[in-house]
Chains A and B, each alone.
Chain A
Amino acid sequence: MIADFDYQFFIEVLVGGLLSGVMYSLVAIGFVLIYKTSGVLNFAQGAMLLFAALTFVSLVERGIPFALALVVTFAIMVAMGVAIERTVLRPLTNKPPITLFMATLGLSYIIEGAAQLIWGTQVHGLDLGIEDVPLEIGGVLISQFDIFAAVVAAGMVLLLSLFFRYTRIGLSFRAVADDQFAALAVGLRLPLIWATVWAAAGLVALVAGLLWGARLGVQFSLSLVVLKALPVLVLGGFDSILGAIVGGLLIGASEKLAEVYIGDYFGGGIESWFAYVVALVFLLIRPSGLFGQRLVERI
């Protein structure tokens, strides 16, 4: 049994899994950004992703050049972030996190509905100009598109880390994440910071939306990738960008391996819940995820 184990096939499955994990991480990073600075699990991230991708595709289909469409969509996402801060977050300041979570659930309904009411419900194809052909690297076949996605993800993580570390607004992000009350006391402007964070999450949603849209087609089911990102978050910890990356890789790899090697015993189709089970088992051992902050409780 072990003797005729096909290592090359194993590695191919593993690499494929890791690369699809990068796609999960891309979505998860958007969550982490908002959770870090406002303690909210933003369920609307998937809806924002759908909205961004749908807006971009619809603009391109109406003959607007690629770069301009990108800028316009980003501007719309920023406007949306500011509007969300104004109308939803500000009135709910100091409410328990679970209330804010439910508000983002409502938000996701609004954004999903609006996206399809404005742009229609048909499926759009999205061509980013990168062909999805397999490349042979060291005897292993890897999709070119997956590599491109991984590079984009790496670039975005690098950009975000630099932004958090070296800019003034990044510094205030970290201050708010650390202690909201103290940040307010030293005069940081919470509304401005939240609006910026939501705009940044909008940018992440746009990038993730384009990559996922190119892969699956731009349609309603795109907002369901949020369900793929949640176990990644649970595994990595809600407040760690590194955790989102590592969690994504782990989930992606174990999901693909499980589907290929043990999926048949369950009759296939186990990817809808396998990631959750991995995350759950892991959580039973470490309740705050891989890199999440352990909470100290007070009465």
Chain B
Amino acid sequence: MTAISSDFSSVPVLPKWIVPVLLLAFAYGVVPLIGSSYLFEAILLPFLALSLAGVGLNILTGYAGQVSLGSAAFMAAGAFAAYNFNLRVEGLPLIGSIFLAGIVAAAIGIVFGLPSLRLKGFYLAVSTLAAQFFVQWALTKFSWFSNNSASGVIDAPRLSISGYALDGAIGRYLFALTIVTVLTFLAYRLVTSQTGRNFIAIRDNETAARIIGIPVLKTKLLAFAISSFIIGVAGVIWAFAYLRTVEPDGFDLDRSFQILFIIIIGGLASIRGAFFGAALIVVFPLGLSRLGGFLLGDLFDSGVLDMSQRIVLGALIILFLILEPDGLVALWDRIRRRLLFAWQST
């Protein structure tokens, strides 16, 4: 009897908000003080941008069950829209252009989400490729988007909020962190709301969802719009805060796959999963190049690195699908439970 009850009470129940709040306090209070510029430029900024894109795609693919292979197109749309709003609308604050860029990405998302009203599964996944190719083509073809720059590569505007410049690595980091935090919080609220439940119902069984009265078409388009909004803003962070240039080539099909891999590895239908996945995707190439250089020395040139990265990444995807279909999140939760249990029983 005591054994059973101690089993149940063995895991101390912390309020859900404690961990995120502690993490945020660390990210705002401690990281800017101790981080090197390499940490910000090479790890934290791409991590934040990709995490946010992962959160966006997870809403569409993880929660609403619509597989998209065109995420990078929405990132590109967001980045270029923000650039143009910032350039062409006098006196629009930076936050304003970022918000409008999200709206533009959402509108494009709705247009390319229209096929989802009739298509399912692979047919839909293939049709989202249309977004990928069309957007990339349009951005390279019409030089208006890049303000007639000869190379198609343009410098992102300086980040500043009400006159306060955020040019340094730490400034850009805090800027990205704030946007990611706000949008992630909203995304979390969304998926735990009625709308979020509707997404899941459509993912699990569309016909059943329709029968219990969920407006399937509207909900699907909403999922496309919200997801594209978030991914578009992630594109702005990627271009403005991380790369500080805006170019269509960085938003190619490989980037779309990368974001899809982030949510597979991190865990589908999990907001935390996007962060886990993005952390792995950002850190693993750096780790691999260090390890390869250490083991093979000069043999390990950039070509070999590139190829072995592809191989290891592909193998990781397959391993996760086979061994841990719920992603790093499930792995983490299991480890945490074990540790807590071990700690409790001592």
Interface stretch among B229-237, B305-313, B335-343? B305-313
Choose from A101, A269, A280 the contact partner of B115 (Cβ within 8 Å): A280
**A98 near B: Cβ within 8 Å?**
yes
CB proximity of B174 to chain A, nearest CB, Å: 35
Asked whether, in the complex, the Cβ of A113 is within 8 Å of the Cβ of B130, the reply is no
Of B122, B126, B141, B317, which contacts A106 at CB under 8 A?
A: B317
Judge whether A130 is part of the interface by a CB distance below 8 angstroms.
no
B123 within 8 A of A: yes
CA–CA, A295 and B127, complex, Å? 19
Segment at the B interface, from A114-122, A148-156, A171-179: A114-122
Is the beta-carbon distance between B207 and A297 smaller than 8 angstroms? yes
CB-based contact A105/B127 at 8 Å = no
A92 at the interface (CB under 8 A from B): yes
B interface bracket (residues with beta carbon within 8 Å of A): 35 or more
Report yes or no: B122 in contact with A41, Cβ–Cβ below 8 A: yes
Task: Please measure, in the bound complex, the distance between the C-alpha atom of A186 and the C-alpha atom of B180, giving whole angstroms.
Answer: 55
Task: Tell me the bound Cα distance from A270 to B120 in angstroms.
Answer: 26
Instruction: Name the interface residues of B229-274: CB closer than 8 Å to any CB of A.
Output: 253, 257, 260, 264
* C-alpha gap A283/B115 in the complex (Å): 8
A234 x B127 contact (CB < 8 A): yes
- CB of A284 within 8 A of chain B? yes
Q: Cβ of B137 and Cβ of A299 under 8 Å apart?
A: no
- Inter-chain contact A105/B257, CB cutoff 8 Å: yes
Chain B stretch 142-199: residues in CB contact (< 8 A) with chain A: 142
Q: Are B311 and A109 in contact, with the CB atoms below 8 A? A: yes
- Measured between beta carbons, the chain B residues less than 8 angstroms from A26 are none
**B322 and A92 contacting across the interface, CB-CB below 8 Å:** yes
Residue in A92, A108, A268, A273 with the greatest tally of chain B CB atoms within 10 Å: A273
Partner of B122, one of A95, A103, A238, A266: A238
Residue B316 lies at the interface, judged by CB distance under 8 Å to chain A: yes
Q: A233–B257 Cα gap in the complex (Å)?
A: 20
Determine if B315 and A234 form an interchain contact, defined as CB atoms under 8 angstroms apart.
Answer: no
Q: Is the CB of B118 within 8 A of A284?
A: yes
| A260 CB within 8 Å of chain B | no
Contacts of B126 in A (CB 8 A): 41, 230-231, 233-234, 276, 279
Using Cβ atoms and an 8 Å threshold, which residues of chain B touch A280?
115, 127, 130
Q: Is B303 interfacial (CB 8 A cutoff)?
A: yes
Q: Point out the residues of chain A lying under 8 angstroms from B67, CB to CB.
A: 98, 101
Instruction: Say whether B325 faces chain A, with CB atoms less than 8 Å apart.
Output: yes
- Complex Cα spacing A20 to B111, Å: 30
Residue in A106, A227, A266, A276 with the greatest tally of chain B CB atoms within 10 Å: A106
Closest A-chain residue to B313, C-beta based? A109
Render A88-102 as a binary contact track against B, CB cut-off 8 A, 1 for contact: 100110010111011
Are B134 and A113 closer than 8 Å at their CB atoms? no
Best-buried of B137, B308, B325 by chain A (most CB within 10 Å): B137
Contact among A97, A102, A116, A266 for B307, CB-based, below 8 A: A116
Contact of B137 among A98, A272, A288 (CB under 8 A): A272
Taking the nearest CB of chain B, how far is it from the CB of A280, in angstroms? 5
A277 contacts the other chain (CB 8 A): yes
A114→B314 CA distance, assembly (Å): 11
Is there an interface contact between B321 and A106, defined as CB atoms closer than 8 Å? yes
CB-contacts of B268-321 with A (<8 A): 303-304, 307-311, 313-318, 321
Q: A170 contacts the other chain (Cβ, under 8 Å)?
A: no
B92 CB–A CB distance under 8 Å: no
A 268-296 contacts with B by CB, 8 A: 268-270, 272-273, 276-277, 279-280, 283-284, 287-289
Nearest to A286 among chain B residues (CB) is B118
Contacts of A106 in B (CB 8 A): 313-318, 321
In the complex, which residues of chain A have a beta carbon less than 8 angstroms from the beta carbon of B130? 273, 276-277, 280
* Interface residue B125 (Cβ < 8 Å from any Cβ of A): yes
CB distance from A73 to the nearest CB of B (A): 20
A102 with B137, Cβ < 8 A, contacts A110-B315, A113-B310, A287-B123 known: no
Q: Write the nearest CB–CB distance from B213 to chain A, whole angstroms.
A: 14
- Residue among A95, A109, A230 with max Cβ neighbours from chain B (10 Å): A109
Q: How far is the CB of A160 from chain B (nearest CB, A)?
A: 22
A279-B127 in contact (CB<8A): yes
B125, B207, B307: residue with the most chain A Cβ atoms closer than 10 Å: B307
Minimal Cβ-Cβ distance residue in A for B310: A113
Partner of B260, one of A102, A233, A288: A102
Checking A91, A92, A95, A109 against B310 with a beta-carbon cut-off of 8 angstroms, the contacting residue is A109
Residue of B nearest to A90 (CB): B322
Contact A272 B317, beta carbon cutoff 8 Å: no
Tell me whether A138 is interfacial, beta carbon within 8 Å. no
Task: Tell me the nearest residue of chain A to B209, going by C-beta.
Answer: A299
Given A91-B322, A113-B309, A117-B307: A101 touches B134 (CB 8 Å cut-off) = no
Q: Does A107 contact B (CB under 8 A)?
A: yes
Contact B118 A287 (CB under 8 A): yes
Q: Can you report 20 residue pairs joining A to B where beta carbons are below 8 Å apart?
A: A41-B122, A41-B125, A97-B122, A102-B260, A105-B314, A106-B321, A107-B314, A109-B310, A113-B310, A234-B127, A269-B137, A272-B137, A280-B115, A280-B130, A287-B118, A287-B119, A287-B120, A289-B123, A297-B207, A299-B205
16 additional contacts (CB under 8 A) given A273-B134, A287-B119:
A95-B325, A109-B311, A109-B313, A113-B307, A113-B310, A114-B311, A116-B307, A233-B126, A234-B126, A234-B127, A267-B142, A269-B141, A280-B130, A283-B123, A284-B118, A287-B120
